[in-house]
Structure 1
Amino acid sequence: MKGLGKKALVTALAAVAVTPSYATDSVQHTNEISVMGVYIEPDDDRSDEYGSAVRAIYGIRLDRHWWLEPTFFAGVIETGEQGGPDFFQQGLGMDISYRLFGDAEFTPYGLVGLGVSRNDVANNPASEFDGYANLGLGVLTSPLTESGLRLRGEVRYLYDNYDDGLFDWHFGLGITVPIGVTRRQVVEKVTVIERPVVVESQRVIELADSDKDGVVDGVDQCPNTLAGLQVDALGCVKTDQVQSVVLSGVKFELNSDRLTANARDILNRAADALKGQQDLDVEVAGHTDASGSDSYNLKLSQARADSVRNYLIENGVNPGQLTAVGYGETRPIASNDTEEGRERNRRVEFNVISE
């Protein structure tokens, strides 16, 4: 409250957010597990019959579209011979997949990968370990449950180097279950207008601005903005210009990349800021003073930048928003001839990656 005089009337302009006209959910998780039943159409040189298998996939998110997928499958291929041997086949490999859309949508995907295969024929002591390669196309449904369970279907063309090379088709259908950190954000369309507000003569109601970015909470669409970054009219960090802010207080144990307890508290607030604006991409920049060799300082600064990035990801930040780079002693902001200057040079910065 502020006194304004007994008879004075004050007219001010206040920004008012109109209720949202639409809202969408954005669900993201770090990892997932898929289990699928597989029908195998084998190479004619292997068999004229069919096969069946089980495939397990562990999905690791790299960013919104790219996933790394370690995979294991095991199955049997019928030979059609009465009482004759069947093929027993296993494979362990690594795929890289690209999904067109996000976690909350129906999305097609493509994949490519390599692995190690084992082919064993029943009643035959000979078995062979070799390699395989596969290409695949598939689809994931939108989530069917609150936990994020989805159906997954795919077809793979698999080249197995066994027996001078065999080509098989794998048709899979199963479920995908998310694991790791899951979060949901409502994205709202907001219209901002200005209207005059008449304030009583002896008091004015101060509008709250929790993150001190100059945009009141009722309008601020990106809460918990880090101090020192320029924001737009909706309180979101401007991504069309180069910006940088030093994370004051983010320190490490001596000659180590281990964060101090106080540093973790500061990074918790930084994580909240990044989760509040998921289109904000930043470079986590590590810097050292000039003590020690150039190569040692470069390695230490990279390890510290990676440590900050990993901590933010563990606290729910999308990995695709973060890039870690160590600059060693190459970018000082103060003289290395004094202890005060060296302390200022030992720092971690957020550099906004402009659009």
Structure 2
Amino acid sequence: MTSKASLSVACLALAAAGAASANGPGVGHPYLGANFVYEAGDSDRQSDDGYGFHLSFGVPVLSYEHLDVEFGYSALQRDRDIDGRTDYTRTLHTDFLYRFAHQHFFGAGEPGFSRPVLHPYGLAGLALVEEDSAGDSGYHLGASLGGGALIDVGLPYDTLIRTELRALYQRNDDTVAGDSAILDFRAMVGLQMPIPGFGRAPAPVAPLLPPPACRVAVVDPVTGRSDCDTDSDGDGVFDSRDQCPGTLSGTVIDATGCPVQLTPQVIRGVNFEFDSAILTADSKVILDDTARALKGMNDPNLLIEIGGHTDDRGSVSYNERLSQARAESVRQYLIGRNVSADQLTAKGYGASQPLADNDTEAGRAENRRVEFRIVLR
């Protein structure tokens, strides 16, 4: 891969890391789940607690980053108190599942220990319940309400541990003695795995084919240009489209062959403890995603500058020291996540490059940031 191609990949990887940081591996994709279920049944059932399984298939709602729609099937059984025989409940579920911000826990996020990560969620939905009790069977509408957590402990294929508590309510006066309002509580534990290759495939990129070879070429004696599609300065743009001939080797250029100024990539959500260079737990989750994006880039010509920025409160010298310490803190964290130290450099800019007005709290918050600037050596 050429240096310019590596540069493009690096920019895309950093942008993708920033976008993906709200979710993380195994979350925000279509998935399959399988769970063991324990049920504390309504007292009117006159039976022991139940047990069984729950299978699920979920897809993200494209317009809402943290929302999934999930379809499930559960089957449970329980022994009756009166005669010891078995009752059965089978349920079809349709739920909306909302994922809250993920969190590190049990000390995760410290150097060398990025997991486990907790993804709490809540859910609500409707159900169609089939009861087979005491020889009678019937179908009833129900409603579910509950919550749980997806736990990333580094299992293969981005598989997550899923734990959940939910209440299932139904109106049932046919198959259960007593009150027609039945409220069961279910606890579940199992695994959830994203479906490989499921969803929208990226648009194919047409390869850049070399032009047909010229048998006869007319060369301009003044400029040295030819009517053949050649690349005299080796910048990857053919002379017929190159508006800036003679570009120096290693210069980052646009489609016309002219140098471009790269826009730094701001990774949103990288924050620090007050008045210090200590990363917050949420920041470590985001930087874990960034590290995964950067580890695959092994081009020795790529250098990534981590720039630390502050607002204008405090003295110039203090802000420069603080921003340098914060940039170095990010660099050391990424190195601890196996990103090559040779490709990372840290620089503190203090308050010298504001993005917004420092006279407002919102502006100061935007100016307190970490930027990744990707360059070719």
- TM-score w.r.t. structure 2 length? 0.42
- TM-score w.r.t. structure 1 length? 0.45
